[in-house]
Structure 1
Amino acid sequence: MGDPGLFTPNSVTWQMHGDPMMWVAGIRALHLQALHPRAVRGVMQNSDFRRDAWGRLLRTADFVGTITYGTTEAAEKAGARVRKIHSMLGATDPDTGERYGVDEPALLLWVHCAEIDSYLQVARRSGLRLTDALADRYIAEQRVSARLVGLEPDAVPANQDEMAAYFEKVRPELACGPEARAVDDFLLRPPTHPLLVPAREVLWRRVAHLAYAALPPYAHELYGRPAPKPATVTRQLRATGTLLRCVPARLRWQLPPKHILRAIARLGPGSRPAPYKLGRQLAILDEPGRVGRTTTGGGRGRWGTAG
């Protein structure tokens, strides 16, 4: 048996991050992260977002794949690289002239929470059935990824209640400034080759609009567009999730950088991510009195693809 890595095949993270809806969740996270002026300013002042947005998205996906499915050594090295890069970057507040580092704990925490909340919300609303205990377990597991980017795990939300309290506390700091508008515009209408414009309109815009629609109501308010009805968005997420999950996992996992396939080769076929596996562990993972609670995804007492 090879090194199972930081999360191992027994984690919620291992099963959930192999789902194709994580790409939709990643776009939602970018929309949400852009609403923190200091955080998004750090991105815009240190990279040409519009010219390198695809590269940035793919690098983020590679980082998540490495720390989820890679060896312990690979995950720790990936975290060290991110921390080193962040330690060398700073941003300037145009209103006050203040210079600050992009590795401020408050900024790292915002990026972390926006990402993890997006993964969890999209997963549950698109048909992956997680009990509340499993959702709490996932958030707690992600304190490992928070440590890798430079946060103290104890300062990071460990369950849904703590995550909700964090967002309530940080909301007064959020705003839709010029940088957020630039990110929003790119995500909804990314520049592309003229020959690919029809494909962008048919495929990308549907995915991007769905990711945007999945934002919380206060985010829609900040962006200045009416919030769609949550029930309508949930139906669209479930339909999209059902469609994408019809694509054989082995085919989906062939896309570079093939983290999951390499993990299976390292650990054996029993490590293959499959949501139904967590249903076997509910007696261990569920807290007393929480087994069988209805979840956002509509499930009861187990986690699996909605039928």
Structure 2
Amino acid sequence: MTPVAAGPLRRRAGRLVFEQVSGGAEGRARRERIHATPGPRWFPPDSAVARVHGDAAMFVGGLRALLLQSLHPLAVAAIADHSDYRDDPWGRLGRTSTFLAETTFATADDAQRAVDVVRAVHARVRGTAPDGTPYTADDPVLLDWVHVAEVDSFLLTHQRHGARPLDGPGCDAYLAQTATVAARLGVLDPPRDRAALGAALDRHRPALARTAASDDIAHFLLAEPPLPWPVRGFYALLAVAAWASLPATARAMIPLPGHLRAVVPLARPGGQAATRAVRWALAGDPPPAGPATHPTS
């Protein structure tokens, strides 16, 4: 058998990974617009937020964020009532990844447009949780929780699995930079350093609980992910790394499927190996080189 050249194999793997999470040809066109359109950006290309959001560790961080967010009864009610995560999980993932890419890498105008779209969607999302409590997606408490769960997850998993972990000041810079986006989304006083992030997590902890809806999301993400069987073993490394990185109180509320329990001792090295593999693949299909730009003031 003729060996497959490393270059074409890597490019093909990169295309498959990118198209799976970003929407095929449409995702490729969006990536071209985000990275190649000239104009000032909110953040420079060497910023802490660009380093974190551009790394393959986000695959673990995204799973962790979803699991953690689902433990807030009102947040998970909004997801269950208004999200199409079961019918179109990759579409939802693509929209989330596009928002992060636009606010991190796109021009300032496109980044603000992405924020405006999300705020308009939030204004329409409202309902009643199973216990009778009303909710709205633009409730400052829920906005704060969603943001806190995301940045805690993205930063922690980057420090564990990222190619270039941040130093202490870099971690605080990441939180300060993401706080500027959160404030535009309506979050009141988002955490801007590690001390404030820890205080925010403590503030939300009493409201967290295991519910039928959180169990459903955990089962969907951990037990029956929307993937073909040949790649589920690889995905399991990412999923277990995400679950194992949660606080002990959160892990106690999120059931881990039996077939994944044996993998828990390998969570950290397995997560590192999986993210290295994703990073290797994505390097074969990199985004276009952007024009010379400068951050907005």
Q: Is the pair's TM-score, using the shorter chain for normalization, greater than 0.5? A: yes
Q: Which residue of 2 aligns with 1:151?
A: 187
CA distance in 2: counterparts of 1:186 and 1:224, whole angstroms: 11
CA distance in 1: counterparts of 2:166 and 2:183, whole angstroms: 24
Does residue 1:177 correspond to 2:211, yes or no?
Answer: yes
Q: Which residue of 1 aligns with 2:105?
A: 69
| Structure 1 residue 215 displacement after superposition | 1.5
Q: Which residue of 1 aligns with 2:269?
A: 235
Alignment of 1:174-213 (within 5 A): 174-190=208-224, 192=226, 197-213=228-244
Q: Name which of 89, 110, 133 aligns with 2:145.
A: 110
Cα distance per residue 1:42-80 (max 9 Å; x no partner): 111113331122211111001000111100000000000
- 1:164/1:266 CA distance change after superposition, 3 Å: same
- Counterpart contact for 1:91–1:102, Cα < 8 Å: no
Q: Which residue of 1 aligns with 2:195?
A: 161
Q: Name which of 48, 70, 73 aligns with 1:37.
A: 73
Q: Which residue of 2 aligns with 1:99?
A: 134
Q: How many residues align?
A: 255
Q: Name which of 230, 244, 265 aligns with 2:278.
A: 244
- Counterpart contact for 2:240–2:263, Cα < 8 Å: no
| Structure 1 residue 209 displacement after superposition | 2.4
Alignment of 1:267-278 (within 5 A): 267=292
Structure 2's unaligned 5+ residue stretches are 1-36
Amino acid at match of 1:129: P
Q: Which residue of 2 aligns with 1:138?
A: 174
TM-score by length of 1: 0.75
CA RMSD of aligned residues (A): 2.7
Q: Which residue of 1 aligns with 2:58?
A: 22
CA distance in 1: counterparts of 2:202 and 2:264, whole angstroms: 19
Amino acid at match of 1:209: V
- 1:122/1:231 CA distance change after superposition, 3 Å: farther
Cα distance per residue 1:203-250 (max 9 Å; x no partner): 32332222222222111112255999998533333333333333462x
Aligned structure 1 segments of 4 or more residues deviating by more than 6 angstroms: 226-231
| Structure 1 residue 14 displacement after superposition | 1.6
Provide the secondary structure at the position in 2 that maps to 1:245: helix
TM-score by length of 2: 0.78
- 1:231/1:145 CA distance change after superposition, 3 Å: farther
Provide the secondary structure at the position in 2 that maps to 1:163: helix
| Structure 1 residue 90 displacement after superposition | 0.3
Identity of aligned residues (%): 33
Does residue 1:265 correspond to 2:296, yes or no?
Answer: no
| Structure 1 residue 146 displacement after superposition | 0.2
- Counterpart contact for 2:183–2:190, Cα < 8 Å: no
Structure 1's unaligned 5+ residue stretches are 254-259, 272-307
